[in-house]
Amino acid sequence: MITLITAGGLSMLFSLFMTPVFIRLFKRLAWGQYINIDGPSTHQVKRGTPTMGGIVIILAVLFGYFVALLITQNPPSVSVLLVLYLMVGLGLVGFIDDFIKTRKKRNLGLGPKAKLAGQIFFGGTYALLAIQFPNNVGLTPVSTHISVVRDLNFDFLGGVGWVLIAGFVAFLVWIILIVMATSNAVNLTDGLDGLAPGSAILAIGSFVIIGFWQSNQSCQSATLDPDVAFKCYNVDQPLDLAVIAAAVAGALIGFLWWNTNPAKIFLGDTGSLAIGGALAALAIESRTELLLILIGGIFVIVAGQVVVQLTYFRLTGGKRIWRASPLHHHFEVKGWAEVTIVVRFWIIAGLCVAAGVGAFYLEWILQA
């Protein structure tokens, strides 16, 4: 518990007090945002605002987590290192994208294929690494089962021969799809000042609660109440997952201070992809993959609207359902104030997170 509070607090303080330093540095390096001419005209005043704020968030998380370990004399856990691997790896993909934009002074960085290739690489290598390193009871950081609130009976590696090989490929594809869907959904939501970080604080913060509860009710816990032992969770190092979730949430809280309207710095793809990577890894490792649809509901809504809009546009030869896409830009075009949209989307994000955490706890109560 001390490690959790320390990691979250240190990450928050780092991002809160160091973000102005990076704002000045990024201005000196001319790492400013270039605004899409097809977007709302009101966004043109944001041109030149420092971007790549995800660098600050990643550094804050690394600082908060590892310094907390030094203070409490705890070793790093494999589960957390895997979360950090996916977060930093996708952050690197986003950084390359952002760097090309600032270097070439345009709003287009990496092409879609190159960005997807980066997500596939880090998602695939994450999946391969995460089924290694079993603990003393044979649990690996990631299960090869599909999970909702806990593992379902279906196991990708449940066959033999060619069935086993096909299952292994399907497992890799499954993890990669989760990583790609989550990181791209967060990326699409990052369109207004404070929208993505504020929503992510709520979603990632839920894994502090989930990880802490799973730790208390772990099948490996020496203090587990025998009366509820049949409800226990087979999750590897759940308390460590809660610690890194607290570090990420803390870093986002500190960053949000400077990212609220009018933003002094933007996340950039560096930040949005990194946040999506952390969110995906936390859901996968806590065995709550499909519950992420509820916990990350605001990201699902935004990404879903983009898919529906684009599909309808192509099928009808240019017609649209909404005035703009992603969804927050639709409300901008309708005349809503940016702050109004952000706060209302935060409310929706909070309700989705509450529903997700509620479903998680309800499943435990209904176990009989």
Query: DSSP assignment, residue 151?
Result: E
Return the H-helix or E-strand segment holding 217: none
User: Nearest 5 degrees, angle CA 102-CA 108-CA 111?
Assistant: 120
The span from the CA of 128 to the CA of 82, in Å, is 11
Residue 333: partners with Cβ closer than 8 Å, 6 or more residues away: 40, 323, 324
**Sign of the dihedral through C-alpha 131, 132, 137, 141:** negative
pLDDT at 33: 64
Q: Which pTM was predicted?
A: 0.93
pLDDT in tens, 308-366: 999 999 999 888 999 998 999 999 999 999 999 999 999 999 999 999 999 999 999 98
Write out the two tokens for 207: 């894994």
Return the H-helix or E-strand segment holding 244: helix 238-259
pLDDT for residue 176 is more than 90: yes
The span from the CA of 1 to the CA of 267, in Å, is 29
